[in-house]
Amino acid sequence: MEDRKRHMIERHLKGRDITDARVLAAMAKVPRERFVPEHLRDEAYGDYPLPIGLGQTISQPYIVAYMSQALALRPDEKVLEIGTGSGYQAAILGELAGEVYSVELVCELQQRAAGLLAELKYTNIHTRCADGYAGWAGHAPFDAILLTAAPPEIPQALIDQLAPGGRLLAPVGVALQRLVMLRKDPDGTIRTEITHDVRFVPMVRGALVPGQ
């Protein structure tokens, strides 16, 4: 696994445009194989997404690293993640930020991720099963917000929970998805940048999904 992890970092991260030393260190530290189903662990460090059950996926390592690098997190910042999934992206954020609050609509996934993150001793990561469209108002404002599922448009509740000076990064769209970065200026003005074409699972709205 360590050889495969080194290959991932050298070829798929450093070999492209991942240059942030803290992001590279986080990707080297977090055991990605723990966040995928046991029968797929040999593929954990391949640069492609993998299914984690219940119709959800773990994103490819490059996308996880790219989005983490784009947020340019500082160790004292508070981050909101929408879409806990396997918990892997939350673990990377937990290495980079001060506190991470992660929301997952599928309760079985949230419980599974919470157990694994606790086992790996991430005391700065907090999860809950809830509708991500509402964010986590009780802990707002957030210095950064990351969406790991794609809404048709960015929910206003999440923009409202972004602190002045904060960044929000999300895949947005239905048939065609683009990676969108929102920056909130100190006066509340929103600036938008659009970068990569991406493909994420849709961001679902509505009742909680307990799982099977």
Catalytic residue set: 59
**Cβ-contact 181, 193 below 8 angstroms:** yes
**Farthest-apart Cα atoms in the chain, separation:** 50
Q: In Å, what is the CA distance from 148 to each residue of 2, 4, 6, 21, 59?
A: 26, 24, 25, 22, 8
53: β partners = 56
- How many other C-beta atoms are found inside a 10 Å radius of the C-beta of residue 7? 14
Closest CA to 84 of 67, 100, 63, 71: 100
**Cβ-contact 28, 74 below 8 angstroms:** no
